Amino acid sequence: MCRFEGVWINKPPSNLLIKIDSSSIMKGFFFSLFFLFSTQIIAQSAYDQWEKVQYDKELHLSTDYKEKRIYSSKGAKENLLLRQWRIAKKGRLLRDMVYKANSTIVVYDLSMDYQTSNEVIGTNALDSSKVTYSLTKEGKIRYYVNNRKSTMHIIYTYNDDGQLIRCKDCLNAPRGDEWCLYYTYAYNKAKQLVGTRTYNLKKNQAVEDKVLYAKDSLVYNNGQLSERWALMPTGEPVRKMVYHYDKKGRLEQVAGQLIPPYQVFRNYTVLYDYHCNGKIKKERESYYLEGAIEYRRIINYDKKGRKKQQEGFNAQGERTSLYVIKYK
């Protein structure tokens, strides 16, 4: 049988775009790499950032397509409108156009100029504003900065093995534009991620002044990730994720829950189907509140493992969001 139900541990993030703040258009372009389809949106964590660096090719301006178009609606297929159009050549992103939700108005139109193999300048055709990307010699994102406002930036630091060890994010801080998020990462001797820390850091302050906000702890069993705990700064757990494997060592389920008394009781499960070639075919996520289903998300992938459709459903089973992605 080609069909296998389970969860793919090394899955790419479920994100392609993010809502654009028209008052900071160039901030929007970097955000466009991080759009969360799910309505279950929480503040970005150190682990989320780590996953993006590992599995999101577009974060590093790399692609496996010539064109990608994303269409969206609030549920009905007949109401689908173009939301984003990306053009690439030889595996590199060249142009990115994003449209205002539910309209044909272009929010920004960014063209990429590869100055060298390691430096890229993006220019927005709407206002001539620019952003700069720096890549490592291996092609990983090293930093992003808004050329008009240098405090709007993200900086990634890697160790000699190419593993992410620090990240300073001054675009996505939930406390506002005067703050940054600062992440650190720890690995074991087997080069597996075993811990993360998330800090709040005020812009223009020394890194030593950062304040611990949250932690993650990862546990392995026989070389496989078995548990991931989200912790308060003082160490109390607030969320637990358990990873289950079959007899062949394949991950078949991830089950997570928020731990009272910090939140009302919520949990979720994720299941996957696979194409015969081993690529992901379908992802089914279910979120529960006090035992009753609160939200469902179904994602379909093509035979290359690329997302091609995503649907969101409320507790009543009504489709509340629809995204269709087409590639050339």
Instruction: Kindly tell me if the per-residue pLDDT of 30 is higher than 60.
Output: no
Q: How many CB atoms lie under 10 A from the CB of residue 179?
A: 17
Q: How many CB atoms lie under 10 A from the CB of residue 135?
A: 19
**φ/ψ (deg, to 5) at 201:** -140, 125
CA–centroid distance for 256 within its chain: 18
* Distance from C-alpha of 197 to C-alpha of 295, rounded to nearest angstrom: 29
Under DSSP, is residue 251 helix (H, G, I), strand (E, B) or coil? Answer: strand
146-168, pLDDT tens digit by residue?
888 888 899 999 999 999 999 99
Instruction: Kindly tell me if the per-residue pLDDT of 22 is higher than 80.
Output: no
Task: Identify whether 273 is part of a domain.
Answer: no
Task: Identify whether 5 is part of a domain.
Answer: no
What is the tally of structural domains in the chain?
A: 1
Instruction: Kindly tell me if the per-residue pLDDT of 69 is higher than 50.
Output: yes
Task: Identify whether 306 is part of a domain.
Answer: no
Task: Identify whether 203 is part of a domain.
Answer: yes
Task: Identify whether 323 is part of a domain.
Answer: no
Instruction: Kindly tell me if the per-residue pLDDT of 244 is higher than 90.
Output: no
Cα of first residue to Cα of last residue in the chain, in angstroms, is 30
263-285, pLDDT tens digit by residue?
666 899 998 888 888 788 898 99
Task: Identify whether 223 is part of a domain.
Answer: yes
Alpha helices in the chain (DSSP H): 25-31, 46-55
In DSSP terms, 13 is beta-bridged to: none
| pLDDT (mean) for 55-72 | 94
* Distance from C-alpha of 301 to C-alpha of 311, rounded to nearest angstrom: 12
- Angle, alpha carbons 131-137-139 (nearest 5°): 60
199-225, pLDDT tens digit by residue?
999 998 999 999 999 999 999 999 999
- Tokens 């969360």 locate to 36
In DSSP terms, 257 is beta-bridged to: 240, 267
Give the least confident one: 37-41, 121-125, 254-258, 297-301.
37-41
Task: Identify whether 103 is part of a domain.
Answer: yes
Task: Identify whether 245 is part of a domain.
Answer: yes
* Distance from C-alpha of 154 to C-alpha of 52, rounded to nearest angstrom: 13
Q: Which range marks the domain in which residue 233 is found?
A: 22-252
CB 200 within 8 A of CB 214: no
In DSSP terms, 253 is beta-bridged to: 244
Answer whether 0.85 is exceeded by the pTM.
no
